[in-house]
Structure 1
Amino acid sequence: MSKLLLEVDDEALAKAAAFLGTSTKKETVNTALREVIARHSRAIALAELRDMGARGEFDMLLDKRDYRP
């Protein structure tokens, strides 16, 4: 982990801490960074699923006979 000296918006930091349920500035910033990464990862996964659906890769699920052999 690296140390970093930042100027941050105190009001935004307080709102983020309340939203995230964090109690320290360090915890708030680190949690916010992890949340951004997780959100972006979910958006990528959703886009991939949407593309798979558009290509018809889930069409076999429309026929209930395909659920079990």
Structure 2
Amino acid sequence: MATNLSIDTGLLEEALSIGGLSTKKDTVNQALKEYVQRRKQKQVIDLFGNLPADE
């Protein structure tokens, strides 16, 4: 899906530099994958706070 976005150029350049990927597209896609993964991990961690503790 083609999408036009206004992205912080400095942040994108830094991500390209440290991410080791060769294209902006790959860098943005990898960043989105990592974002989703971290959010899912946070949801699981937050669920642990809602479970009753074993006594």
RMSD: 1.6
Give the structure 1 partner of residue 10 of structure 2.
Answer: 11
Matches within 5 A, 1:21-60: 21-52=20-51, 55-56=52-53, 59=54
Larger Rg, first or second structure (1 or 2): 1
TM-score (norm: length of structure 2): 0.78
The structure richer in helix per residue is: 1
TM-score (norm: length of structure 1): 0.66
Identity of aligned residues (%): 31
Task: Return the letter of the residue paired with 1:4.
Answer: T
Flag the structure with more relative contact order, 1 or 2, with Cα contacts below 8 A and sequence separation at least 6: 2
